[in-house]
Structure 1
Amino acid sequence: MLNVHSIESFGTHDGPGVRMVLFLQGCKLKCLYCHNPDTIDTAGGKEYHIDELVKMAIKLKPYFGKKGGVTVSGGEPLLQSKALIPFFKRLKEEGIHTNIDTNGRVLNHFSEELIDKYADLVMLDVKHMTEEGYEYITGQRNKETTFNFAKHREASGKAMWLRYVLIPGITNTPNLLHAMGEYFKEYETIEKIELQPYHKLGIHKWEALGWEYQLKEARENTKEEIDAAKEILQNYFKEVKVN
């Protein structure tokens, strides 16, 4: 069984091609800019049997084409790694491309088996390049968990994309972008980095939960700032995409 928050049938921003996207319930981080804060609490969600989800994926398979498939996001999907192993195994048997969108904080026996054997692609969210910045954004310490996860994926030789949210003055500064590029420039498994310009579309969800949204003062990026960030990162990565 998987505890699922919601399912999107025709996702186009969660990996290659057209995808069925499962947003799982539960996350140990509470990122200041989270646009799905209702997925954070591990309580809630709806239990789905793996057979039911596999049937959904098979029905959608004609729409996937050569590139599409199934992406599991969250929340943090690797909190349910043990249940995801048989799910991804079944999808692989059906010839369906599998992708995990993760913050990289869960690296244990189950998550390693999942990403080593059954995840065709991993999309890793890099929150910040400094410990202070990581704690400010996520509410948790130890940014090294993300980088340990990246090292593990690199060692597997299997495809990885990075994702990075651009917040003016917080994550979108030249020194941080160069630091990220320098850190990952020798990685051979990274196919691209996706930049997510900061937006405030999730504020109403925070308010509905009775939580204070702490980035109200942050502004959205200008086109010039986004272009400048892309230009910096193009020195380090094969492909830089702005979502």
Structure 2
Amino acid sequence: MAVMLGTTIPLGPPGVTGSVHSWDVSTGVDGPGTRFVVFLAGCPLDCLYCHNPDTRRMSNGTRTSADAVIAEAAKLTPFIRAAGGGATVTGGEPLLQPAFAGELFHRFKHELGLHTALDTSGFLGRRVDDGLLADVDLVLLDIKSWDRDLYLRLTGQQLEPTLDFARRLADLGKEVWVRFVLVPGLTDDPANIEGVAAFAASLGNVSRVDVLPFHTLGSAKYSAQGRRFPLEGTPAPTPEQLDAARAIFVAHGLRTV
């Protein structure tokens, strides 16, 4: 459930800046507890089922200072702490702007005392230094497919950089929630799910797997851009299909939601 509290953050004082699309407060889907969630603009992937196509390009955001973002989060910090939450940086792809994302994580953690989460595909993990990751408490890692050809078809990019980043996070002992979107007719092959599950289980730092149902809630955004939703006509998975996918992850000793 997400409660929209604002749109684009207004331009703040001089300092470290980045392209920010929007912000909101969410519960349950962007990390533990109630979260202040910042959406950065720009992403190197072009996912067929992207539900935020309006964050794809850096130009979709507003040049915004870290000071302005922190000021907005500070207004809600007492409420967020009481709700056992924190701050999440998502997108788009946050790692397209590593300096800005790193500044936000550092200040969320050390200035506001908030639990921090990075929501990423991992494709740009090589751009991230260990200093940034030291300020991240949790990584929400989106592994879209185990089948390499399907991953390329889904995203326009290769899978290996994501797997390399996942292994690096494991070496660092960084907590990870894996996210897997179940798309009927695309990602729902049991062998594909088995591959993601076996890999996630091998890492030793995956505390949860979110099996997310494909949906078409972002299709109106494509229409607003004069584009056709790439997976128009694809059905949402049934409860039985979701349960079957979750059962594969559970069989590998992983906790699912």
In structure 2, what is the equivalent of residue 104 of structure 1? 122
In structure 2, what is the equivalent of residue 217 of structure 1? 233
Cα drift, residue 214 of structure 1: 1.9
Work out the CA distance in 1 between the residues paired with 2:236 and 2:83.
Answer: 35
In structure 2, what is the equivalent of residue 118 of structure 1? 135
8 Å CA contact 1:11–1:20 kept in 2: the answer is: no
8 Å CA contact 1:88–1:118 kept in 2: the answer is: yes
Give the aligned residue type for 2:73. Answer: A
1:152 corresponds to which of 168, 175, 180: 168
TM-score by length of 2: 0.88
Cα drift, residue 48 of structure 1: 1.9
1:157-176 equivalent positions in 2, closer than 5 A? 157-176=173-192
Cα drift, residue 112 of structure 1: 4.0
Partner deviation per Cα, 1:6-57 (whole Å, 9 max, x = no partner): 1003444211100000011000111000011010012131122112211222
Give the aligned residue type for 1:172. Answer: D
Give the aligned residue type for 1:5. Answer: H
Work out the CA distance in 2 between the residues paired with 1:109 and 1:161.
Answer: 20
In structure 2, what is the equivalent of residue 71 of structure 1? 88
1:82 corresponds to which of 99, 111, 120: 99
SS in 2 for 1:34: coil
Work out the CA distance in 1 between the residues paired with 2:101 and 2:155.
Answer: 24
- 2:30 is the alignment partner of 1:14: yes
In structure 2, what is the equivalent of residue 195 of structure 1? 211
- RMSD, matched Cα: 1.5
Partner deviation per Cα, 1:83-133 (whole Å, 9 max, x = no partner): 222221122213111110000011235454312x11111000001111110
Work out the CA distance in 2 between the residues paired with 1:237 and 1:70.
Answer: 28
8 Å CA contact 2:178–2:200 kept in 1: the answer is: no
Work out the CA distance in 1 between the residues paired with 2:131 and 2:234.
Answer: 39
Work out the CA distance in 1 between the residues paired with 2:26 and 2:78.
Answer: 12
8 Å CA contact 1:4–1:25 kept in 2: the answer is: yes
Work out the CA distance in 2 between the residues paired with 1:110 and 1:228.
Answer: 35
SS in 1 for 2:36: strand
Give the aligned residue type for 1:226. Answer: L
In structure 1, what is the equivalent of residue 66 of structure 2? 50
Work out the CA distance in 1 between the residues paired with 2:168 and 2:144.
Answer: 18
Task: Count residues in correspondence.
Answer: 239
Cα drift, residue 206 of structure 1: 0.9
Cα drift, residue 149 of structure 1: 0.7
Work out the CA distance in 1 between the residues paired with 2:231 and 2:224.
Answer: 16
Structure 1 runs of 4+ off > 2 angstroms? 9-12, 107-113
8 Å CA contact 1:26–1:41 kept in 2: the answer is: yes
Partner deviation per Cα, 1:135-162 (whole Å, 9 max, x = no partner): 110122x210110010011111011110
Cα drift, residue 218 of structure 1: 1.6
TM-score by length of 1: 0.93
Question: Which ranges in structure 2 are unaligned for 5 or more consecutive residues?
Answer: 1-16
Work out the CA distance in 2 between the residues paired with 1:109 and 1:37.
Answer: 23
Work out the CA distance in 1 between the residues paired with 2:119 and 2:253.
Answer: 19
In structure 2, what is the equivalent of residue 208 of structure 1? 224
Give the aligned residue type for 1:6. Answer: S
Give the aligned residue type for 1:146. Answer: T
SS in 2 for 1:82: helix
